[in-house]
């Protein structure tokens, strides 16, 4: 690179860093002490986020160092800032002197000027391009399809929900100029909740929390069979709950755990698959759930509390990670994989001596415990989610400053802010693009017509309706952050949920689970892609391995819909007592054990084909709902009894062969 080329690059990096710090500072202040009108603050949030996207993500990877392409990126960043800035000026009372005709955009709805429409149309196109750069083609193409649907709805056949059609100015007003589209619920959730947790995770990582989590997991499992893989599972669950991103979780913890698994004897594809499956479940794990719990606070109707959400999510998340622990345990025993891993692999990778690793890990553990403990305490005390995480950030800074190993000086603090801002760029672009879809769903009424099609199906078979929702969630989730997939599906399917006869919270968790499972569902399994790059394996075999390890995650949502006791709820949605939960949890645990044994082909000893099919049959009987037979006034679940009996037979027949 010539000096003439490096100077603009340095200026671009400096501008990007300054914008990153601005985005974090603005969000922390505005969320806790709002100064701007609701639409204005979201527009400013999008202004900085989209500008960062164009400055950091090139038009095409091959053009990242092309001076003309990068100059074009700067132009697009300025245009995005101008379009979003126009919304800020035209909606916030602070800028009333610049309002067109003395009215806000909202007050002149339906009478927008040609200039309003031109700004909105340009902004719409820039949002779609930002989403393409940050996420690929899937979401932009979906948004484009909805725009075409809004414009040409009158030409659609009956089975595609035709409508009268809308003009370009009307579509632009709905999606960009007003608060039902881009600057609506999706971006508001990212601004109010998700970004704060991205900052929270970035600060924790800067203090060494990732190192502590891996070290803690290793101490828990020691030299148990398949220990390094169990370390990957536990560390990914702990880290993923905070980050909420399966890809970021894989890239962070996988850097340590995948080499550990390979050094212990796991095949590279297996190591990558375990890591991807474990990382994808992180956002299912309370207490943070990758901010998923806070999205549900905004969307679930009737409203639920934070504690109700994490209480409901706890048992399914534990069952998911139990299945992964059992799979790697059985797999390690079947393959006779050495138990010892790499006790200080993370520290050696960083070139540190074991005593230094232990000291830093201990200090980071104190910070991690203080951060997570304070977050839970503030939430239990009744603080709002954004206030609780803000206060926990203060705790991180204060506690980390007490030890030199974890202390954050001003350079580390700025770097953490910049890292957090860059990490949220794909989420800002995705949420803005999803806002286009949400706006059109509201405009055209398809959000009420689609449920009218699904509800009759649910009346015939709830199972078929759930399968349809599952497939929709997985397909729409391919290539999307799981949080964005949930928001999109909750918008499209939300009106259906109250008519399915399913507890609303169970229905929303059902959607959320399958949004997460799209991360390990080929062909677009983003977590598996990240793991394969670390392990040096081919993408498709890695995706299939991750899919196989995560299979229990595809059964759990059906289990808790049909057995709400797994969510600590009764069939009517009231809190369930411990005695009511005892049998369903025991049956689910046994079913998960059978499923894990079938996937690994191992129980006490290796399973032959016949016993392997039998243990899968036992899992199906234990996990599936079935009829009950009344004996002495007590309902005896026939499938469960048959499953227990079949498992007992497999266990008795599973003997060591010579």
pLDDT tens, residue by residue, 420-462: 888 888 888 988 998 898 889 888 887 666 666 666 766 677 7
pTM, two decimal places: 0.76
CA–CA gap between residue 60 and residue 116 (Å, rounded): 31
257-314 pLDDT tens trace = 888 888 878 899 999 999 999 988 877 888 767 667 777 877 888 888 888 888 899 9
Q: Quick check: 482 and 194 in contact, CB under 8 A?
A: no
Q: Quick one: tokens of 215? A: 């070290």
Q: Once rounded to an integer, what is the mean pLDDT over residues 75-99?
A: 94
CA–CA gap between residue 117 and residue 133 (Å, rounded): 24
Q: Quick one: tokens of 243? A: 């980050």
CA end-to-end distance (rounded Å), the chain? 66
Q: What is the pLDDT of residue 522?
A: 78
Query: Tokens 């220990």 map to which residue?
Result: 227
Q: What is the DSSP string of 469-490?
A: HHHHHHHHHTTS-HHHHHHHHH
Q: What is the pLDDT of residue 448?
A: 64
537-550 pLDDT tens trace = 888 888 899 999 99
Mean pLDDT is highest, among 119-133, 385-399, 526-540, for: 119-133
Q: How confident is the model at residue 242 (pLDDT cuts 50, 70, 90)?
A: low
Q: Which residues pair with 569 in a beta bridge?
A: 575
Query: Tokens 């007050």 map to which residue?
Result: 107
Q: Once rounded to an integer, what is the mean pLDDT over residues 177-204?
A: 84
Query: Tokens 């050495």 map to which residue?
Result: 338
Q: Once rounded to an integer, what is the mean pLDDT over residues 579-591?
A: 91
> Taking the CA of residue 482 as centre, how many other CA atoms within 13 Å lie in the half-sphere pointing to its CB?
36
Q: What is the DSSP string of 199-248?
A: HHHHHHHHTTHHHHHHHHHHHHHTT-TTHHHHHHHHHHHHHHHHH--HHH
Q: Once rounded to an integer, what is the mean pLDDT over residues 103-117?
A: 90
Residue 455 CB partners (closer than 8 Å, separation 6+): 496, 499, 500
Residue 635: is its pLDDT beyond 70? Answer: no
CA–CA gap between residue 114 and residue 112 (Å, rounded): 7
Residue 389: is its pLDDT beyond 70? Answer: yes
Give the CA diameter of the chain: 90
Mean pLDDT is highest, among 62-66, 168-172, 349-353, 552-556, for: 168-172
CA-angle at 559, arms to 556 and 561, nearest 5°: 110
Query: Tokens 């069952």 map to which residue?
Result: 319
Q: Quick check: 287 and 244 in contact, CB under 8 A?
A: no
Q: What is the pLDDT of residue 226?
A: 78
Residue 104: is its pLDDT beyond 80? Answer: yes
Percent of residues, the chain, with pLDDT higher than 70: 88
Gyration radius of the chain's alpha carbons: 26
The three-state secondary structure class of 445 is coil
Q: Once rounded to an integer, what is the mean pLDDT over residues 516-521?
A: 82
Residue 114: is its pLDDT beyond 50? Answer: yes
Q: What is the pLDDT of residue 347?
A: 46
Distances in Å between the Cα of 259 and the Cα atoms of 139, 170, 343, 354, 649 are 34, 55, 12, 18, 39
Q: What is the pLDDT of residue 481?
A: 67
Residue 414: is its pLDDT beyond 60? Answer: yes
Residue 436 CB partners (closer than 8 Å, separation 6+): 124, 127, 128, 143, 146, 147, 175, 181, 182
Q: Once rounded to an integer, what is the mean pLDDT over residues 155-168?
A: 86
Q: Once rounded to an integer, what is the mean pLDDT over residues 157-166?
A: 84
pLDDT higher for 463 or 92? Answer: 92
pLDDT higher for 501 or 70? Answer: 70
How would you classify the pairing of strands 628-631 and 634-637?
Answer: antiparallel
The three-state secondary structure class of 575 is strand
Q: In this structure, how many other beta carbons lie within 10 angstroms of the beta carbon of residue 302?
A: 8
Q: Quick check: 553 and 519 in contact, CB under 8 A?
A: no
Q: Quick check: 590 and 622 in contact, CB under 8 A?
A: yes
CA–CA gap between residue 498 and residue 355 (Å, rounded): 57
CA-angle at 501, arms to 297 and 431, nearest 5°: 35
Q: What is the pLDDT of residue 387?
A: 87
CA–CA gap between residue 107 and residue 39 (Å, rounded): 13
Secondary structure element (H or E) that encloses residue 143, with its range: helix 138-151
Q: Quick check: 618 and 650 in contact, CB under 8 A?
A: yes
Question: Of the candidates 454, 526, 520, 515, which has an alpha carbon nearest to the alpha carbon of residue 485?
Answer: 515
CA–CA gap between residue 47 and residue 70 (Å, rounded): 19
Distance from the Cα of residue 160 to its chain's centroid:
30
CA–CA gap between residue 378 and residue 252 (Å, rounded): 27
329-372 pLDDT tens trace = 998 888 876 554 444 444 444 445 555 666 777 888 888 888 88
Q: What share of the chain is helix, strand, coil (3-state, %, to 5)?
A: 75, 0, 20
CA–CA gap between residue 74 and residue 57 (Å, rounded): 11
> 44-53, 112-121, 210-219, 636-645: lowest mean pLDDT where?
210-219
Q: What is the pLDDT of residue 157?
A: 85
The three-state secondary structure class of 396 is helix
Q: How confident is the model at residue 631 (pLDDT cuts 50, 70, 90)?
A: low
Report phi then psi at 300, rounded to 5: -60, 135
Average pLDDT over the chain reads: 84
Question: Of the candidates 289, 242, 308, which has an alpha carbon nearest to the alpha carbon of residue 486?
Answer: 289
């Amino acid at each position: 690179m010539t000096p003439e080329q490096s100077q603009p690059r340095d200026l671009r990096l400096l501008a990007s860093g300054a914008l990153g710090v601005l985005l974090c500072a603005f969000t922390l202040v505005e969320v806790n002490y709002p100064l701007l009108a609701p639409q204005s603050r979201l527009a400013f949030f999008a202004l900085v986020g989209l500008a960062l996207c164009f400055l950091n993500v090139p038009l095409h990877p091959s053009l990242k160092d092309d001076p003309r392409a990068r100059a074009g990126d700067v132009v697009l960043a300025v245009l995005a800032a101008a379009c979003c800035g126009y919304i800020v000026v035209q909606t916030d009372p602070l800028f009333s002197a610049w309002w067109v005709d003395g009215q806000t955009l909202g007050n002149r709805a339906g009478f927008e000027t040609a200039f309003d429409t031109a700004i909105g149309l340009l902004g719409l196109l820039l949002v779609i391009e930002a989403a393409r750069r940050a996420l690929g083609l899937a979401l932009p193409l979906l948004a484009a399809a909805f725009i075409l649907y809004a414009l040409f709805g009158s030409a659609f056949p009956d089975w595609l929900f035709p409508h009268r059609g809308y003009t370009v100015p009307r579509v632009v007003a709905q999606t960009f100029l007003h608060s039902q589209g881009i600057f609506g619920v999706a971006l508001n959730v990212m601004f109010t909740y998700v970004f704060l947790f991205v900052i929270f995770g970035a600060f924790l990582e800067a203090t060494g929390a990732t190192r502590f989590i891996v070290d803690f997991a290793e101490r828990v499992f020691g030299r148990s069979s398949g220990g390094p893989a169990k370390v990957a599972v536990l560390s990914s669950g702990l880290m993923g709950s905070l980050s909420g991103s399966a890809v970021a979780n894989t890239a962070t913890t996988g850097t340590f755990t995948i080499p550990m698994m390979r050094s212990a004897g796991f095949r590279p594809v297996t190591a990558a698959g375990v890591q991807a499956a474990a990382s994808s479940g992180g956002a299912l794990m309370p207490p943070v759930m990758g901010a998923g719990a806070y999205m549900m606070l905004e969307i679930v109707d009737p409203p639920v509390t934070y504690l109700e959400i994490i209480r409901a999510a706890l048992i399914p998340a534990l069952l998911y990670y139990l299945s992964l622990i059992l799979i790697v345990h059985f797999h390690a025993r079947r393959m006779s994989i050495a138990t010892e891993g790499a006790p200080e692999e993370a520290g050696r990778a960083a070139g540190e001596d074991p005593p230094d690793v232990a000291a830093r890990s201990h200090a980071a553990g104190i910070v991690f415990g203080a951060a997570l403990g304070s977050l839970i305490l503030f939430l239990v005390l009744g603080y709002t989610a954004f206030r609780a995480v803000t206060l926990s950030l203060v705790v991180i800074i204060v506690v980390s400053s007490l030890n030199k190993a974890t202390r954050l000086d001003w350079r580390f603090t700025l770097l953490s802010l910049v890292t957090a801002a860059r990490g949220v760029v794909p989420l800002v672009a995705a949420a803005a693009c999803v806002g286009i879809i949400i706006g059109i769903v509201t405009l055209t009424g398809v959000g009420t017509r689609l449920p009218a099609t699904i509800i009759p199906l649910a009346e015939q078979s709830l199972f078929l309706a759930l399968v349809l929702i599952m497939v929709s969630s997985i397909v729409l989730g391919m290539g999307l952050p799981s949080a964005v997939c949930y928001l999109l599906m909750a918008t499209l399917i939300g009106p259906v949920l109250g008519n399915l006869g399913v507890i609303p919270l169970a229905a929303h968790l059902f959607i959320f689970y399958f949004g997460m499972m799209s991360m390990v569902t080929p062909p677009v399994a983003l977590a598996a892609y990240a793991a394969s790059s670390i392990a040096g394996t081919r993408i498709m075999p890695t995706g299939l391995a991750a899919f196989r390890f995560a299979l229990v995650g595809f059964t759990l949502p059906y289990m808790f819909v049909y057995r709400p006791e797994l969510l600590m709820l009764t069939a009517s949605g009231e809190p369930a007592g411990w005695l009511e939960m005892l049998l369903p949890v025991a049956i689910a645990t046994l079913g998960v054990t059978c499923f894990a044994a079938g996937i690994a082909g191992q129980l006490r000893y290796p399973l032959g084909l016949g016993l392997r099919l039998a243990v899968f049959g036992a899992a199906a009987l234990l996990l599936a709902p079935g009829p009950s037979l009344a004996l002495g006034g007590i309902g005896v679940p026939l499938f469960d009894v048959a499953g227990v009996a079949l498992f007992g037979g497999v266990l008795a027949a599973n003997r060591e062969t010579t």
